[in-house]
Amino acid sequence: MRTPILLICTTLAAVGCGDTLSPEECYRARPVISVSGGTTPEFTWSPSCPIAELTVSGSWYVSTTASFANGIRPPVRYNSVPAGARRGCPCPPATLQVGTQYLMSLTRWERLSDGGSALLSWASTSFVP
């Protein structure tokens, strides 16, 4: 009886909680970013650590979605504002152009060794709708 329970708990931990990391583990993680196709792509990252800001930029500034804490979790659809976040300007965001290269960046508030905190770049990737 003990072996099946242990197997179930191990499986649930691997499947259900494998993407839940502490703030320190998120800081050290190197996320894998995915961007769906189209001019309103969906952005996801794994591990799904919460972020403070998602910025999309091209040859000029395009769009920022931000929160005052690490409160944004994937997925995030371009030109939408997740609960607890706010839209940066320009308002409204620029329409993405097919065939144009963009850079999507994730930033996180991180605790510093002196007890303060800073908004630091966490990951980025380029994409073409």
Instruction: Let me know if residue 33 belongs to a domain.
Output: yes
Instruction: Let me know if residue 87 belongs to a domain.
Output: yes
Q: For residue 77, is it left (φ>0), alpha (ψ between -120 and 50) or beta?
A: beta
Instruction: Let me know if residue 106 belongs to a domain.
Output: yes
Of 128, 129, 120, the closest CA to residue 53 belongs to: 120
Provide the domain count of the chain: 1
Instruction: Let me know if residue 52 belongs to a domain.
Output: yes
Instruction: Let me know if residue 8 belongs to a domain.
Output: no
Instruction: Let me know if residue 64 belongs to a domain.
Output: yes
pLDDT at 14 over 70: no
Identify the pLDDT of residue 124: 96
- 47-60 residue pLDDT tens: 999 999 999 998 77
- 95-106 residue pLDDT tens: 999 999 999 999
Domain range holding 83?
19-127
Coil/strand/helix, residue 27: helix
Of 119, 128, 105, the closest CA to residue 33 belongs to: 105
Residue 26 sits in a domain of what CATH number? Answer: 2.60.40
Instruction: Let me know if residue 7 belongs to a domain.
Output: no
| pLDDT confidence band for 70 (50 / 70 / 90) | very high
| pLDDT confidence band for 24 (50 / 70 / 90) | confident
CB 100 within 8 A of CB 128: yes
